[in-house]
Amino acid sequence: MAIEIEPKTKTFAEIYESQGYYKEAIYIYIELLKENPLDNSLINSIKRLQSLISEENAAKKRAAELQISALGNFLQKVYAYRVSRLN
């Protein structure tokens, strides 16, 4: 038997959301939606959070690409320096 630590309420989901814990908030909204499948506010909250997560993931991907590019440029300069020192 699993012990439930957190209450699954809309207020608790909103607190998670305000703190940036989007996946946890979605989980609670989905659990609430199972009990109230016609609640449009829950559906809209889930859609909004899915969009925020997608935007967050895209931003992380862009940041990683910039870091990789900067590292590539740095390595090219190191290689060019080493080649020039050998000549």
Is position 78 within any domain? yes
Residues of the chain with pLDDT under 50: 1, 3
In a domain, 51, yes or no: yes
pTM: 0.70
Residue 52 lies in a domain: yes
Considering the domain boundaries, does residue 5 fall inside one? Answer: no
Q: What pLDDT does residue 7 have?
A: 81
Is residue 14 a part of any domain in this protein?
yes
Q: Which domain holds residue 56?
A: 10-86
Structurally, the chain folds into a number of domains equal to 1
Q: What is the structure's pLDDT at 4? A: 57
Assigned domain for 76 exists: yes
The string of DSSP letters for 24-77 reads HHHHHHHHHHHH-TT-HHHHHHHHHHHHHHHHHHHHHHHHHHHHHHHHHHHHHH
Residue 2 lies inside a defined structural domain of this protein: no
Residue 40: per-residue pLDDT: 96
